[in-house]
Structure 1
Amino acid sequence: MPALILALFATIIIVNLAMTVLATRSGHDRLRREELLRRQPGIQSQSGRGRAEAMLGWNGP
């Protein structure tokens, strides 16, 4: 019985690892992030503003 339980847990772990590898290799998340940035140009300008303020040494609120 303990061997069966161990085999089931091992199967779950292997499947989770396989899904993680497949998800990270697909690049879908990166493409979605780029798409969202293209739709919302305000985010890009805020990001650029933040970098500029950091270069000047300004501290945020």
Structure 2
Amino acid sequence: MIVPAEEVDQLLAELPIVRVIEGDTVDARLHSSVFLAALVNRTLDGTPITLHRGARERRRTATVV
């Protein structure tokens, strides 16, 4: 099913505003960086090694901050 771009734009415009809250008031396990790292790792670990070569290289050479 293809949804027209105008309909997608309208639906996106109706979504509520979302803010990301970071810092000491949020448990470290809930930080956006933890979520994104888990998402990337799960994606890369679940796909063939011939896919996402650039992302795999960046993950391999990344430094933890």
- Normalised to the residue count of structure 1, the TM-score between the two structures is 0.33
Structure whose CA Rg is larger: 1
Of structures 1 and 2, the one scoring higher in RCO (CA 8 A, sep 6+) is: 2
- Normalised to the residue count of structure 2, the TM-score between the two structures is 0.32
Structure that is richer in helix per residue: 1
